[in-house]
Chain A
């Protein structure tokens, strides 16, 4: 089993460009999450999903959109990238909201 995978691993964007980050899990988990990690700020929740076809806002949702069309995939979109979105993005999944979250390896995004 691959667990949680993220595509791409690295990306450099110019201000105003758009992109989509893909997260895939093969553990049949209902819950999926997108976080961003910045120095000294831990992990902050962007959006999450409690099941296929559902999404909800987290702590820092502005500038991001998500979709969960298939249970195993959770997409994070940036419509118009800004330098403030330079960060490392982590996807996670879990079978229940009160147990362990399994994290992907992260995507390092730089917006110039």
Chain B
């Protein structure tokens, strides 16, 4: 069974601060996705990283895939109250018995105070 450990589980910060969320595994993933979920709604994809060492930027959000494709991070610069939500990482293994299935981390609940 592939596991994804996400940390921290909770993050409460002030507007304007920077933060990083980590997603770690002992397994190699062919790709890794980051989703954001707001209360009462389903998760929505933010980004997919595929290549080891890949860095993708989405405005103030920076996503990195580890060189060995076992870990990933999400960095938010100058957080805003609108960034509040649940952030989920999900690993995808395109081969073997895990084909077609995502493995999700436990999630990070981010609260940004004005």
Contacts and interface: CB of A to CB of B under 8 A. Distances in A.
Contacts, number: 57
Interface string B90-114: 1010100001111011110000000
Given A98-B30, A100-B48, A105 B101 contact: no
Interface residues of B, number: 26
B42 A105 contact: yes
27 contacts: A4-B42, A31-B100, A33-B102, A40-B9, A42-B4, A42-B6, A42-B88, A42-B104, A42-B106, A42-B107, A43-B90, A43-B102, A43-B104, A48-B100, A50-B100, A59-B1, A90-B43, A97-B92, A98-B30, A98-B31, A98-B94, A100-B33, A100-B48, A103-B43, A103-B44, A106-B41, A106-B42
Nearest 8 A/B pairs, CB to CB: A103-B42, A97-B100, A42-B104, A43-B104, A100-B45, A42-B106, A42-B107, A98-B94
